Amino acid sequence: MSRARISRRFALTLAAAVAVAALWPASTALAREPVPQLTATAAIVVDANSGATLLARHATARRSIASTTKLMTAHLVLERARMSQVFTAPAYNPGPAESLIGLRRGERMTVHDLLTALLLPSANDAAWDLAYNVGGGSVGRFVRLMNREARRLGLRHTHYANPIGLDDPRNYSTASDLARLAALDMRDRAFARIVDRSHATLKSGSRTRVVINRNDLVGRYGYVDGVKTGHTLQAGYVLVGAARRGGASVISVVIGEPSVARRDADSIALLRWGLRQYRRVSPLRRGRAVASVPIRLHSGHAQLAPARSFSLTVRRGTAVRVRVRAPERLEGPLPAGARAGRVEVLAGGAVAGSVPLVTLSKVPGPTLLKRISSVLRGVLVVLAALLGVLACTLVALRLRVVRRQRASSAR
């Protein structure tokens, strides 16, 4: 049988849509992890891919957010400037104890190095330089762009007063909005590469500079890959964190921490807790049969297996099962590896992936005895049909004769 014919038979067959028993039902999930005890005034941990909230505490309350404001500054710069562009620094008058890289007025530095200075040591002069140049020579215009972008992204509880994060009643956000913005930023490869570094060397500018990431979790934990710290008197210690392991990716936010130590402790507790809410499963293995299909005009069955292995990461408690969609039967000869239907992986009832089914070995053609038997059955069917037609004809002729005889008798 040709593959096209197999496909037609497959399309017509609903009976072959067999739901295989769930491989990882919810009952196999591990016991619920204890919720971290936090000192933060607001916190959240979310799935970085879906945006689903895993744990929240006052996550929609408006708070001062300090230098995590720079997540929006970086977001706009990545949208509106090239990493290779060179900006000329404007004058900047810092307040006491601000984080700086010591940019001088007129100093020229690449956007890449300015972003690195913005995100790792949280340099305020780098933030001012970027905002001034992307804003077309106006930091105020850049701030208006920040607020317009916040509205466009649906950050309903966020407002910016400056591109740095200096304390201002009009500069605020929420743990929920920060997590959402960080997840968007982390999808940009350039951004993600920068915030996943413990230190960096800035080679443009008037001199070489080495900068250190204030988010020390990145250097201490291999699975932590971002994103941004912040601190002011009003905001306290703030950290937006990110972690990835085993296919799971989570974002955490803590606001209003009393110290760097508590900021780090709460953040790593949230990230670990978030990652433990997921598990990696492999419902399909290449070469492992998932269906057995009768072979037409043959006494055997063809074993069907996925053409490739399939793994996925799911939240604990999510049932994962496979659904086989195969032809009612196959007709050989077919080589090993011939496609014959597909198998779907369902997670929580939704299709998470589909893999073609292939024959594990050669599918033999009809045996001589089966072929003869099939021919004889065909002949018998034809004979039976002919006999039926003959019988009907004889009956009709007999009825015609009877009617004529009755007609003659009546005269």
Cα 178–Cα 183–Cα 185 angle in degrees, nearest 5: 95
Tokens 């195969």: give the residue: 326
Residue 334 CA from chain centroid, whole number: 37
How many Cβ atoms sit within 10 Å of the Cβ of residue 39?
A: 17
Q: CB–CB of 38/373 below 8 Å?
A: no
Kindly report the backbone phi and psi dihedral angles of residue 305, in degrees, each rounded to the nearest multiple of 5, phi listed first. -135, 160
Tokens 């004058």: give the residue: 91
Query: Quick one: pLDDT at residue 207?
Result: 97
Cα–Cα distances in Å, from 386 out to 64, 389, 400?
92, 5, 21
How many Cβ atoms sit within 10 Å of the Cβ of residue 147?
A: 16
Query: Quick one: pLDDT at residue 298?
Result: 81
Q: Domain 3-20+290-359 has what CATH class?
A: mainly beta
Q: Which two structure tokens, joined as six digits, stand for 142?
A: 């850049």
Q: CB–CB of 228/118 below 8 Å?
A: no
Helices (H), 24-174: 70-80, 111-119, 124-134, 139-152
Alpha-carbon distance of 306 to 296, in angstroms, equals: 22
* CATH T-level assignment (fold) for domain 34-278: Beta-lactamase (3.40.710)
Tokens 């900021």: give the residue: 263
Each residue's pLDDT, cut to its tens digit, for the chain (411 residues) gives 444 444 444 443 333 333 333 232 322 333 467 899 999 999 999 999 999 999 999 999 999 999 999 999 999 999 999 999 999 999 999 999 899 999 999 999 999 999 999 999 999 999 999 999 999 999 999 999 999 999 999 999 999 999 999 999 999 999 999 999 999 999 999 999 999 999 999 999 999 999 999 999 999 999 999 999 999 999 999 999 999 999 999 999 999 999 999 999 999 999 999 999 999 999 999 999 999 999 988 888 999 999 999 999 999 999 999 999 999 999 889 999 999 999 999 999 999 999 999 999 999 987 655 555 555 566 667 777 778 888 888 887 888 777 777 777 766
Angle between helices 111-119 and 70-80 (to 10 degrees): 160
Sketch the domain layout of the chain as residue ranges.
3-20+290-359, 34-278, 369-406
Task: Name 53's bridge partners.
Answer: 46
Nearest residue to 229 via CA among 132, 118, 128: 118
Q: CB–CB of 205/199 below 8 Å?
A: no
Our CA dihedral for 319, 324, 325, 326, rounded to 10 degrees, sits at: 180
Q: What are the DSSP E strand ranges found in 223-333?
A: 224-232, 236-245, 248-257, 278-284, 291-294, 301-306, 310-315, 320-325
Burial code of 115-127, b = ≥16 C-beta within 10 A, e = fewer? bbbbbbbbbbbbb
Query: Quick one: pLDDT at residue 389?
Result: 81
State the catalytic residues. 67, 70, 122
Query: Which of the 8 DSSP states describes residue 106?
Result: T
Amino acid at 245: R
Query: Which of the 8 DSSP states describes residue 37?
Result: P
Helices (H), 257-361: 260-275
